[in-house]
Amino acid sequence: MRENVAVKRAPGPEVKSSAEDVIKSFLKSVDSAKRSEQPYRHWALQGCFPPDSVDDVLALPFDAPSLDGVSGKRELHNNTRKYFDVENRERFPVCEAIAQAFQDKRVTTHIEKSFGTDLKGTYLRIEFAQDIDGFWLEPHTDLGVKTFTMLLYLSRDPSHHDLGTDIYDGDKRHFGRSLFAPNGAMVFIPGNNTYHGFEKRPIKGVRTSLIINYVTNEWRAREQLSFPEAPIA
């Protein structure tokens, strides 16, 4: 069920693509997704959002956070992370459109059927990630309170083609790397072997992506959620 809020828009042009446009584009990308079984089941998607939505996300006025010489875990920089939370949904039409799309029953049902997960009672969390040179992430699984993970790549710098997500086997040995293609994504259902991360390597400019999760009620940082009072039905 959608949460109704009084929306106060930030100054500037209205969003070019509606929630309905995002839904149609995402469902189409899921239907044409390519599945891989090794080292764990995951999917590669293309054309996830309408191009106008990608433009609007990339235009969001959020500065890339400084690493201050520290990396390895995103939670080390919790005070500078950005989300499509209630505040940003109110400020930016594109945040509202994308959040409403992933809250929509048509999307959640299709995710459940296509990827084999149960989203009932979970909450939508969308993080706007901006990674700069020096960034790296140790291998981790997302297992626990996350029931779905989608890593949606956005930045269009040609040098970012090799900045996809690093994939590891159950012993944390490097297995491969997803393709970083603008408006493409990697999807997996967190399990005890879904190790992924980011090997440190040069990043020109800002590596921009969205991290889309559905999390259980045990998620403590409620302020990060798009609809903290509206679980997926």
pLDDT tens column, 1-55: 434 443 344 444 466 889 999 999 999 999 999 999 999 999 999 999 999 999 9
In a domain, 1, yes or no: no
pLDDT recorded at residue 184: 98
Specify if 228 maps to a domain: no
pLDDT tens, 91-150? 999 999 999 999 999 999 999 999 999 999 999 999 999 999 999 899 999 988 999 999
pLDDT tens-digit series, residues 136-184: 899 999 988 999 999 999 999 999 999 999 999 999 999 999 999 999 9
Bigger pLDDT: 79 vs 230? 230
Cα separation, 82 vs 211, in Å, equals 11
4 lies in a domain? no
pLDDT tens digit sequence for 178-214: 999 999 999 999 999 999 999 999 999 999 999 999 9
In a domain, 190, yes or no: yes
232 domain-assigned: no
Phi then psi for residue 191, to 5 deg, are -145, -175
DSSP-based three-state secondary structure for 232: coil
In a domain, 7, yes or no: no
Contacts of residue 214, Cβ cutoff 8 Å, sequence gap at least 6: 108, 111, 117, 119, 122, 123, 124, 125, 146, 147, 148, 232
Record the pTM.
0.90
Angle made by CA atoms 37, 38, 41, in degrees to the nearest 5: 40
Pair of tokens at residue 130:
């901006």
8 within domain boundaries: no
Q: Total structural domains in the chain?
A: 1
- In eight-state DSSP terms, residue 226 is S
- Residues making up the chain, counted from first to last: 233
In the chain, what percentage of residues exceed pLDDT 70? 88
On whether residue 58 sits in a domain, the answer given is yes
- The CATH number of whichever domain residue 78 belongs to comes to 2.60.120.620
When the pLDDT of each residue in the chain is averaged and rounded to a whole number, the result is 91
Q: Is the bond into 51 cis (omega within 30 degrees of 0)?
A: no
Range of the domain at 98: 19-219
